A and B are shown apart, each in its own frame.
Chain A
Amino acid sequence: MTSAMMQSQILVIGAGPAGIAAAIAADSKGQSVILIERAESAGGILNQCIHDGFGSIRFGEQLCGPEYAYKEIKRLEGSSVIAYFHTTITEIRREEDFFLIDAVSPKKGTMTLKVEAIILATGCRERSARQIFLQGDRPSGVFTAGLAQYVINCMGYLPGKRCVILGSGDIGLIMARRLTLEGSSVLGVYEIQNEPSGLSRNIVQCLNDFGIPLHLSRTVIELHGKHRLESVTIMDVDENRQFIKGSEQIITCDTLIVSVGLIPEHDMVRELGIKYDPHTSGPIVDQTYMSNVPGIFCCGNALHVNDLVDYVTESGEIAGDAAVDYLNGIIPRKKIELIIDQSIGSIIPQTISLSATKTFTLPLFIRSKRTMRKSILRITNGGNELFTKRFNVVKPPEMIRIDLSCEISKVQTDFPFLISIKEERS
């Protein structure tokens, strides 16, 4: 019995929207690309996101998750990318100027790949009930929103009959509607912050349409039930997120759906020395989406959590193109740091590498830290203003995308770019 040994220039890990886009982009520039996916088919998390609202930027229409995936998969099938499904990477080793990857699959058994560049498109995972320090008992009936989504949409089972939803993230809101349509009663959505963390339109069409109450500054603190969940204790918090004594209330329910955030996932490259950004929880990258480890690129939700799949696809294309440039030996010369102030939650990329070109245009993805009305976004460099844009309103759940164009001759390369958003005094 021998193990399969394969070689290509680029390995893309994950065949969700980011990975598909990255693989196609690199393939279209003539590179040999292997795409590895642990599920049995492509599409990633889109396959369980059966609701609509995907692709308004990329396709100009409101698609369901599987429809968006379908369009992208058709493109993949038209490319010469070699895709291995139902295949799991077990180890990645960095050698002199290439990587060795071990993988297993039920069809092919063990296999080893030798590649020159890796694009991580591994998506994200959900923050769990334990990670937000939910206390009390540990009964069954506690689901992350994504797990509940899979159980309902892909398996056809109901997580429970009387549900409380913790966190107003988009998946939580969408699950409130799904559970209601499938016959569960959703007692309410509880959000520790004083503003919802999901998109406004999901509040309208997932909660308001069905009369599901949204409680802000109110959170679940303890679970009760030795075996199946029987009730939860909820409590109010003040503006500093401190619990307000005496506000405890017990709600009888059999299910808690937890929708409290997503975290980029890249467990498999943890040992390769990648530097992470505490704001995004993803790798620190330049505008090519290459990490500090040469040859390792990252895109999609593995880079930072996006709210639009259109941006995920775009980031895959950027990483795919850039990986080809990297293999062609286009090496950036100098790095400029992008520094965010207190008004901003996160930014992608975190650095800009200047190359030989005279001008550059690149998309910046910025998440504000709080809701601000009539505000102005500013990018400065050594005291010079490079960019300004005014916004009616910026909200943390709605990512800001801007195109930054600069003439390199005007940039003071010894100074970082400073980015801030300020509310304008009227």
Chain B
Amino acid sequence: MRPIEMICINCPLGCQLTVSRKADGALEVSGNNCVRGIEYAHTELENPLRRVTTTVNSGSMKVPRVSVKSSESVPVEEIFLIMERIEGFRLNRSCKCGDILIDHISGDIDLIATQDFTFSEGEVKI
């Protein structure tokens, strides 16, 4: 195969990687400043993974949204699937940063709160 150029997204450095396949079929990665670059090149070629970060409806007026993330990175094509599953979800309770809000939103992956949220009944709007 021809060498592929890609940018490692693991950290803000954004190393410019050059990936090529050696005769024995193994991948050769250059341009990386750390080992994560090599790992990234492998998954990016086989099955690109991304973390989903979004918000869910809190059910409260005062703080309408609670920020969440997927517990692990997910295949790119699953991002919209997860977004769809969040649609219509209402938290309607308090949570702590790190709590699972929706378990198994996709396979073994959960949806996790990334902030503390205090729910108060008085603020609910029907």
Contacts and interface: CB of A to CB of B under 8 A. Distances in A.
A and B touch in the complex (CB under 8 A): yes
Interface of A: 47, 50-53, 56, 62-67, 69-70, 152-156, 178, 181-182, 199-201, 203-205, 209, 307-308, 393, 398
A199 B12 CA distance: 7
Contact of B14 (A56, A182, A308, A398): A398
Nearest to A307: B12
- Chain B contact-residue range equals 20 to 34
A50 B53 contact: yes
- Residue of B8, B50, B69 contacting most chain A CB atoms (<10 Å): B69
A166 B95 CA distance: 37
A156 B64 contact: yes
Given A201-B7, A201-B14, 4 more contacts: A56-B11, A178-B54, A181-B79, A200-B14
B14 A209 contact: no
A409 B115 CA distance: 50
Interface in B30-65: 48, 50-51, 53-55, 57, 63-65
A66 B10 CA distance: 19
B9 interface: yes
B51 A62 contact: yes
A199 B65 contact: no
B83 A64 contact: no
A181 B83 contact: yes
- Residue of A47, A66, A182 contacting most chain B CB atoms (<10 Å): A66
A56 B67 contact: no
B69 A52 contact: yes
B18 interface: no
B12 A398 contact: yes
A181 B54 contact: yes
Contacts of A308: 12
A181 B74 CA distance: 15
A203 B7 contact: yes
B67 A64 contact: yes
Given A66-B97, A66-B114, A67-B97, A155 B64 contact: yes
Contacts of B51: 52, 62
Nearest to B31: A392
Contact of A201 (B12, B53, B79, B114): B12
Contacts of B63: 154
A52 B53 contact: yes
Nearest to B69: A64
Contacts of A51: 53
A204 B67 contact: no
A63 to B, nearest CB: 8
Contact of B65 (A65, A154, A181): A154
